[in-house]
Structure 1
Amino acid sequence: MEVCVCSVLLLCVGIYLTLQLLRFIIADADFTLLWAAAVGTRPGMALKQKVVWITGASSGIGEELAYQLAAVGARLVLSARRENELHRVRRKCLELSSLEEKDILVLPLDLLERSTHREKTDAVLQQFGQIDVLVNNGGRSQRSLFIDTDIDVYGGLMELNFLGSVSLTQHVLRHMICRGDGIIATVSSIVGLVGAPLSTGYSASKHALQGFFNSLRTELTDYPNITISTICPGPVMSQIVNNAFTEQVNKLMSDAGDQSHKMSTERCVRLILAGLSNRVKEMWIAQQPFLLFFYLWQYTPTLAWYITNLFGRKRVQNFKAGLDADTAYFIKPKDKTK
């Protein structure tokens, strides 16, 4: 009898572990975020009529955030440098939703011009009277080898990706502290947790954001209704690669390469909204095998270093040979010179 009971228990354990393995194989986010997306508060309930300020709203993740937030009834502040693109996004938001023109503010913003951040914040408050969510999404990526890269590129990355977001956060946070409520969400990256070749400066700026906002979160323990959330996507289809820094500050990417292997922007943003709606403090968003890297670096760093070095070496070799650095990981790359 005891043998039968043990056998049944072992079978149940085996089935459970198998199911969890299958869940992980098909997962595209950490389990906390997936749970929030499955059974948590819906964005339409949590974010309707909330005032959400998005930087980098003219393209990529920021643009898609605007569309999906408009669809659930959030009031929007759209910021980026390209005002004409912001108006294009605004028009589409109005088409996709029942929002009125007064519900969407186009607010051109250059994160490098930190002296303007106070007046920009005041402009939002004058329009809406409050800021419920700030999404720090503006920034640039990098594609270059450190040994060939001007130091000014690293200064540019830190000024834009790190100090620009920190500066804007400080002004918005003062308002949220007075209200005692709010969400400050910052789009970091998988390279904010894991180093990546060809992105040494970009990775450094995202590591800086991770360290800063993790520290800030603990400073705000007296304000339990203010949530500091970091969003860590893996490879996502967006235009960030097109505008990446290269070896010189003013030298643009010649070819962004094929991005069809990456997660869709729509799916990434749906997961972000689930996380914001349920105030998830850190979101890991990536398709496999990239999601696996999050877990390996968290729990088995020695193994993670070994695997990272294997793929990192391949990425550098492909870059030096003129091949696309991203798509060459898991599929046979197409030579750019052909």
Structure 2
Amino acid sequence: MSWELLLSLLALCALLALVVQLLRFLRADGDLTLLWAEWQGRRPEWELTDMVVWVTGASSGIGEELVYQLSKLGVSLVLSARRVQELERVKRRCLENSNLKGKDILVLPLDLTDISSHEAATKVVLQEFGKIDILVNNGGKSQRSLCVETNLDVYKELIELNYLGTVSLTKCVLPHMIERKQGKIVTVNSLLGIIAAPLSSGYCASKHALRGFFNGLRTELTSYPGIVISNVCPGPVQSNIVKNALTTEVTKTLGSDGDQSHKMTTSRCVRLMLISMANDLKEVWIAEQPFLLMVYLWQYMPTWAWWITNKLGKKRIENFKKGLDADSSYFKTWKTKHD
């Protein structure tokens, strides 16, 4: 075989590999590192058993589904949110669908904005289970309103709930993990903690702040390699987060879910979260196209990303003013072409 033929074959193989990767990316629902971990990495069923996991925002959405999937792995659970009745409902369903006993699940009502209560809540968990292996910071709210129409109290609420409440609880749990020299702190951030979008300026600010805090915290814990700090950044997922989103005033929420059929299922999002936890990934992006593509552009081609965001942002605002889901047209257009 001549060198020319060999080089031609190698070039063809490289081109085919590139095409295959491109096709995989077009159908991807997570960043490439995460999907590699799903294929070749450690399984949650191996790595997350016999742990104590504290989940905030456990009464609905991603937090609720996370609790259900964790319960099947044989972990001890601490369920926190403000609505006690909903937490009890989640606990009952966990007991019905897993091998856990009542003693394995602690319902611990918690208001993230009541910072003075966080230390006492942490002590209750430690008294009950003796340790905290994983803290999942999932509690928070979103926003759907234009900046010029939004009361400043809305921005204050988003920072106090999404950012300061999460930081406060983390600071209460962290000394215990430092003492044990191990633990995982998993924070459910958002793609809007990386990129930005109209109608969510306050939400974006709180999520950008969280990303900066936990990235900074990770650098302070290099002497404790057993403590893992993970940022999980989902895109649009089927949940109540849009329905409960704040609008122009703190006392007003959007009150409507809209059509969610085009969004990622909560079960798939949570499965990818568990894979990221099992493999100690520092940051993961969980989203279907075209949103996954947008975050890659923001990360690696910001000039192009700004241009596209400005174009699409106008349509997002138009959808919102018409009472539609802000992102529905992008999903439906993409899925029609994709299918």
What's the TM-score, normalizing by structure 2? Answer: 0.96
Which residue in 1 is equivalent to 2:247? 246
Distance 1:295 1:201 in 2: 22
Q: SS of 1:48's equivalent? A: coil
User: Following superposition of structure 1 onto structure 2, how do residues 193-208 of structure 1 map, counting pairs within 5 Å?
Assistant: 193-208=194-209
Which residue in 1 is equivalent to 2:109? 108
Q: Is residue 2 of structure 1 aligned with residue 19 of structure 2?
A: no
Q: Is residue 58 of structure 1 aligned with residue 74 of structure 2?
A: no
Distance 1:321 1:9 in 2: 54
1:26, distance to aligned residue in structure 2 (A): 1.1
The C-alpha deviation readout for 1:244-284, integer Å capped at 9, x for no partner, is 10001101214231111100000000000000011111010
Gaps of 5+ in 1: 333-338
Which residue in 1 is equivalent to 2:336? none
Counterpart of 1:193 in structure 2: which amino acid?
Answer: I
Counterpart of 1:29 in structure 2: which amino acid?
Answer: G
Deviates more, 1:301-310 or 1:175-184: 301-310
Residues 254 and 86 of structure 1, relative CA distance in 2, 3 Å threshold:
closer
Residues 174 and 324 of structure 1, relative CA distance in 2, 3 Å threshold:
same
Q: Is residue 286 of structure 1 aligned with residue 287 of structure 2?
A: yes
Tell me if the contact between 2:26 and 2:289 (Cα under 8 Å) persists in the aligned partners: yes
Which residue in 2 is equivalent to 1:28? 29
Which residue in 2 is equivalent to 1:336? none
User: Following superposition of structure 1 onto structure 2, how do residues 1-338 of structure 1 map, counting pairs within 5 Å?
Assistant: 1-331=2-332
Distance 1:183 1:115 in 2: 23
Counterpart of 2:266 in structure 1: which amino acid?
Answer: T
1:40, distance to aligned residue in structure 2 (A): 1.5
Tell me if the contact between 2:262 and 2:332 (Cα under 8 Å) persists in the aligned partners: no
Tell me if the contact between 2:262 and 2:331 (Cα under 8 Å) persists in the aligned partners: no
Counterpart of 2:23 in structure 1: which amino acid?
Answer: L
Tell me if the contact between 1:112 and 1:160 (Cα under 8 Å) persists in the aligned partners: yes
The C-alpha deviation readout for 1:284-334, integer Å capped at 9, x for no partner, is 0000111111211111111111111111111112223443322133448xx
Counterpart of 2:154 in structure 1: which amino acid?
Answer: V
Counterpart of 1:115 in structure 2: which amino acid?
Answer: S
Residues 238 and 323 of structure 1, relative CA distance in 2, 3 Å threshold:
closer
In the TM superposition, structure 1's runs of 4+ consecutive aligned residues that sit over 6 Å from their partners are none
1:96, distance to aligned residue in structure 2 (A): 1.5
Distance 1:172 1:191 in 2: 26
Which residue in 2 is equivalent to 1:335? none
Tell me if the contact between 2:244 and 2:255 (Cα under 8 Å) persists in the aligned partners: no
Q: SS of 1:318's equivalent? A: helix
Counterpart of 1:211 in structure 2: which amino acid?
Answer: G
Deviates more, 1:136-145 or 1:16-25: 16-25
1:41, distance to aligned residue in structure 2 (A): 1.5
Q: SS of 1:23's equivalent? A: helix
Q: SS of 1:328's equivalent? A: helix
Counterpart of 2:249 in structure 1: which amino acid?
Answer: Q
1:186, distance to aligned residue in structure 2 (A): 0.4
Distance 1:313 1:261 in 2: 20
Distance 1:207 1:38 in 2: 30
Size of the aligned set, in residue pairs, is 332
1:39, distance to aligned residue in structure 2 (A): 1.8
Distance 2:99 2:225 in 1: 32
Distance 2:99 2:10 in 1: 54
Tell me if the contact between 1:314 and 1:329 (Cα under 8 Å) persists in the aligned partners: no
Counterpart of 1:124 in structure 2: which amino acid?
Answer: V
